[in-house]
Amino acid sequence: MDTLCRDIRAFQHKKHDEQRIASQTAALFLTCGVELADALSAPPSEKSRIALKLERLIERERLRGMRRHWTYDLNRHIALKQTLNRLRQETVGSSER
């Protein structure tokens, strides 16, 4: 029974990760026109350019939320922020190698 519970938790964790990656991929492509896989495998200079663009987009999204604009989407905001964090984490990881 213990292995069944572990398998269930592992499956749920895997599905959650897949959903998170899918939302990040969609948010990045729809807002920037860049594939997430391409952004993560890009050279550091390109990653920093994409990160700057993401920072501007996140700020614009934040301002929309503060103004309660009808186009504001909390899920898009979260996905963009997660993508930026992931891109920065990949950049830090690649510069340490």
pTM of the predicted protein model: 0.76
What does R_g of the chain's alpha carbons equal in angstroms? 16
Q: Which residues of 54-91 are buried (b: 16+ CB within 10 A; e: fewer)?
A: beebbeebeebeeeeeeebeeebbbbbbbbbebbeebb
Predicted local distance difference test score (pLDDT) of residue 90: 78
Q: How far is CA 65 from CA 31, 39, 48, 56, in A?
A: 16, 26, 25, 14
Angle at 7 between CA 4 and CA 15, to 5 degrees: 140
The full set of domain ranges for the chain reads 2-96
Instruction: Per residue of the chain (97 residues), give pLDDT as tens.
Output: 789 999 999 999 999 999 989 988 998 898 888 888 888 898 989 999 999 999 999 999 999 999 999 999 998 999 999 999 999 987 766 655 5
In 3D, which of 77, 57, 61 has the Cα closest to residue 69? 61
